[in-house]
Amino acid sequence: MAYKVDHEYDYLFKIILIGDSGVGKSNILSRFTWNEFSLESKSTIGVEFATRTLQVGFVWKILISCNFPASSFSVL
């Protein structure tokens, strides 16, 4: 299987949003990537990913992952 490599950015940042259920992690993700906000959004089950590319001096690609509630990480 071949993968397409994206070399159209200078820096890649990977951000993981972790927090309690219902605090707005998915809304932060959608506001930053699509400039949308919903007061009636449903709880995310699993993981949600989104990317945004910005050009501020250099080209920055930002990959954001919105994970399930932080209580799932209590065993770490």
Q: What is the CATH number of the domain that holds 32?
A: 3.40.50.300
Report the predicted TM-score, pTM, of the whole model to 2 decimal places.
Answer: 0.67
DSSP string, 8-63: S-SEEEEEEE---TTSSHHHHHHHHHHS---TTPPPP-S-EEEEEEEEESEEEEEE
Q: Given pLDDT bands bounded at 50, 70 and 90, which one contains residue 18?
A: confident
Position 16 in a domain: yes
The domain tally of the chain equals: 1
The confidence score (pLDDT) of residue 72 equals 53
Domain span at 42: 11-73
Whether the predicted pLDDT of 74 surpasses 80 = no
List pLDDT tens digits, range 21-69: 888 888 888 899 889 888 887 877 778 889 999 998 999 998 888 876 5
